[in-house]
Amino acid sequence: MLLALDIGNTNIVVGVFRDDCLLQSWRLSTQRQRTADEMGMWVLQLFQHGQLAPREVDGVVMASVVPTLTRPTVEMAKRYFDRLPLVVEAGVDTGMPILYEPPSDVGADRIVNGVAAYERYGRPDGRALIVVDFGTATTFDAISARGEYLGGVICPGVNISADALFQRAARLPRVDVRRPESVIGRTTVGSIQSGLFFGYIGLVEGIVQRLRRELGDSVACIATGGLAEMIASDTPMIDAVDRDLTLHGLRLIWNRNKGTKG
C-alpha cells in the first residue's frame, strides 16, 4: 500500500492506495504546530477507522506547502511506518517539463495536480488543460497538450475574500460561503453571500475564458479542492470535478520515482 499526504494551508488530505486503487481518503483541517507524534497518532486513527493495516504500507509520498509541517510529517513516516517518504520538491522527477521562471517557484501541489490531470484527462485525448484548485488560494494552472506545465494564475481564495470583508468592514457580519437563492440579496447576509458566490463564479468564468483563448481550441477545465463541487455546479466552464486529483498525482510521481525515495 502507498500512503499519500497533501499538506495544504487549509486542509491536509490523506489517501491510501493499493496499487492504482484509492482505498480511502480523508480531508482534515491543517494545524501548523502538530508534532511528529501527533501526526502519527492522527494517521493511525484514520487507518483504524478505515480498517487498514499500517504494517502493509510499503511507501509514503507527500507534498507540502506548509514548511512547519514538512519535517514533522517526514519524521512521522519514519517513526510510525518505518518508511522514508518521497517529498515532492525541486529535483524530484515528475515527468512534466516546467516552463516557469524559476521552476522551483511553482508550488508542489500545483505540479502534482498538473501531472494527475494530464494523465487522466489530457494525454488520452491529446488536449491542453486548465486545472483549477479551490484551496486557500484559487490557482489556475495551464498544461499544454504535450504535457508541459506552462504557468497559471493565483487568486485569493473565496474564504480569504470573505474573511477580509468581515475584518475590514466594521458593520458587515461574517458569513458562510454558499449559493444564495437569488443574485438580488434581500438581507445583508444574502447580499454578501451573493457577492462572494456569484462574484467568484464570474472570476472563474472570466479567467478560464481568457486561458482558453491563449491555449487554443481543444482545452478541458478540471476542478479540484474543497469548494470545487459547489462552484462547478453553477458554471459550464468546468468540465469535470476530481476531488482526489492531488492524491492521484502523488501516486503517479511515486510510481515514477520508486527506488529514489527521500
Q: Considering the chain, what is the average pLDDT of its residues?
A: 91
What is the DSSP secondary structure assignment for residue 213, as one 8-state letter? Answer: H
**Selection from 160-164, 193-197, 220-224 with the highest mean pLDDT:** 220-224
Enter the C-alpha cell of residue 152.
Answer: 497559471
Select which of 6, 109, 141, 242 is catalytic.
Answer: 109
259 SS3 class: coil
Q: In this predicted model, which residue has the larger pLDDT, 12 or 166? A: 12
- 8 A C-beta contact, residue 145 and residue 218: yes
**Strand ranges in 93-225 using DSSP code E only, listed in sequence order:** 128-134, 137-143, 149-156, 219-225
Per-residue model confidence as pLDDT tens digits over 149-193: 999 999 998 888 888 887 777 677 778 888 888 999 988 888 988
Full set of structural domains in the chain with CATH: 2-87 (3.30.420.40), 103-245 (3.30.420.40)
* Alpha-carbon torsion angle 133, 232, 235, 202, nearest 10: -40
Q: Please state at what angle helix 108-117 crosses helix 245-257, rounded to 10 degrees.
A: 90
Per-residue model confidence as pLDDT tens digits over 31-58: 988 999 999 999 999 999 999 999 999 9
- Establish how many alpha carbons lie within 13 A of residue 152's alpha carbon, considering only the half-sphere containing its beta carbon: 29
- 8 A C-beta contact, residue 214 and residue 153: no
pLDDT at 262 over 60: no
pTM: 0.89
- 8 A C-beta contact, residue 106 and residue 117: no
Q: Do β-strands 21-29 and 128-134 pair in parallel, antiparallel, or remain unpaired?
A: unpaired
pLDDT of residue 175: 80
Average pLDDT over residues 108-127: 93
pLDDT of residue 259: 53
Q: Which of 132, 85, 78 is nearest to 109 (CA)?
A: 132
13-17, 79-83, 118-122, 157-161, range with the lowest pLDDT: 157-161
Omega before residue 102 within 30° of 0, cis: yes
pLDDT of residue 160: 82
Per-residue model confidence as pLDDT tens digits over 64-109: 999 999 999 999 999 999 999 999 987 899 999 999 999 888 989 9
pLDDT of residue 58: 94
pLDDT of residue 20: 92
Q: Which of 110, 142, 119 is nearest to 214 (CA)?
A: 142
Average pLDDT over residues 11-28: 94
Per-residue model confidence as pLDDT tens digits over 235-261: 999 999 999 999 999 999 999 998 555
What counts of helices (H) and strands (E) characterise the chain? Answer: 7, 10
Q: Is 82 a catalytic residue?
A: no
